[in-house]
Amino acid sequence: MGLRVLAAMSGGVDSAVAAARIAEAGHDVTGVHLALSANPQSHRTGARGCCTIEDSRDARRAADVIGIPFYIWDMAERFQRDVVEDFVSEYAAGRTPNPCLRCNEKIKFAAVLDRALALGFDAVATGHHAKLVDGVLSRSVDQGKDQSYVLGVLTREQLGHAIFPLGDSTKAEVREEAARRGLTVADKPDSHDICFIADGDTRGFLAGRLGAAEGPIVDQSGEVVGSHQGAHGFTVGQRKGLRIDRPAPDGRPRYVLSIEPVSNTVTVGPRSALEVTTITCGTPVWNGPAGRDDLTVQLRAHGEVYPCQFGEHGGGLTIELDRPATGVAAGQAAVLYSGATVIGSATIVSAS
């Protein structure tokens, strides 16, 4: 007997093919598009942004081709509170959040899943490139598109009600299948950057909400080498966009080493000063087997993976890297893997 499945349809090619596959497998599928913006724009700008009126229409057309019921759920207020406001407050506190990860955690697999279960659905299906093997989250076969990192915050219970139909396919295969199925989104560009900052200007977005506040840029000795209009406009590891008045004595580039929101100070230094081997995290979410073989950690979406060991201390997590990493920012997630399998995640608090 088939499942009752709610297919989250963003208006892109991945979620359309995911919904089509679930329906073709004999499940009772209903498509839903999440309206996440209170004032959606009528059109995307190329691959920037999402959640526009155009996207909702693309999702509806895909549902019509597949032959499934389709609805639009207004999640704008919840998205504003749990994702956008969280994003702004994290930057104001000197941290670097990942809004896609927060959206999966708070919207797609909390608000949406809770409503779906209350309405009698058995599961929520999405177009994420990741695999579930016996309820355990693993990497997609398409390493370049793998999204297991941004799903690493999900609990075992949430994963138990999730379906990711695309984990065994590459993006090229998904597009080819969409074309065969007559889905008009087959060649639609992927959305990238931050969906609610359609022009890609994160610093301008934050300045509009947090205001300008001039502060110093200092080197490791504390000497002022430049100025800025708000520490919230920077992230650890950043090289571009620094207003440096005094070049480094060795002529090499400087990078953001730390951000202090209370004093509104940004500290810069050489790339070598970014290297860390110990990462301290908050309370972990364990969602996979307690594997200890072939342990690695990923510290950013689509970022490099590092061999590591870890231990739990005082309710938190300490990760020791086998080799140094750079650009590790508080507020990002550290997702632990045993081979290709996700075993857990935690939010980075500090690194040294």
Which residues, 6 or more positions from 150, have their beta carbon under 8 angstroms from its beta carbon?
98, 100, 101, 104, 128, 301
Separation of alpha carbons 195 and 338, rounded Å: 31
Task: Identify whether the C-beta of residue 182 lies closer than 8 Å to the C-beta of residue 65.
Answer: yes
Residue 211: both structure tokens together: 């205001």
> Which of 51, 195, 281, 308 is labelled catalytic?
195
Cβ atoms within 10 A of the Cβ of 43, count? Answer: 12
Separation of alpha carbons 302 and 140, rounded Å: 12
Q: What is the dihedral of CA 161, 121, 70, 85, to 10 degrees?
A: -50
Report which DSSP code applies to 275: -
Q: What contacts 24+ positions apart, CB below 8 Å, involve 171-174?
A: 171/14, 171/129, 171/142, 171/144, 171/145, 174/13, 174/14, 174/17
Q: Which residues pair with 30 in a beta bridge?
A: 6
Write the Ramachandran bin of 222: left for phi over 0, alpha for psi from -120 to 50, otherwise beta. Answer: left
> Integer distance in angstroms from the first to the last C-alpha of the chain?
53
Q: Which of 81, 74, 12 is nearest to 49 (CA)?
A: 12
From residue 338, give the alpha-carbon distance in Å to each of 71, 103, 230, 249, 295: 39, 25, 40, 43, 5
To the query of whether residue 103 is one of the catalytic residues in this protein, the response is yes
Q: Which of 130, 195, 120, 200 is nearest to 159 (CA)?
A: 130
> Which of 51, 103, 281, 308 is labelled catalytic?
103
Separation of alpha carbons 173 and 169, rounded Å: 6
Task: Please identify every residue annotated as catalytic.
Answer: 103, 195
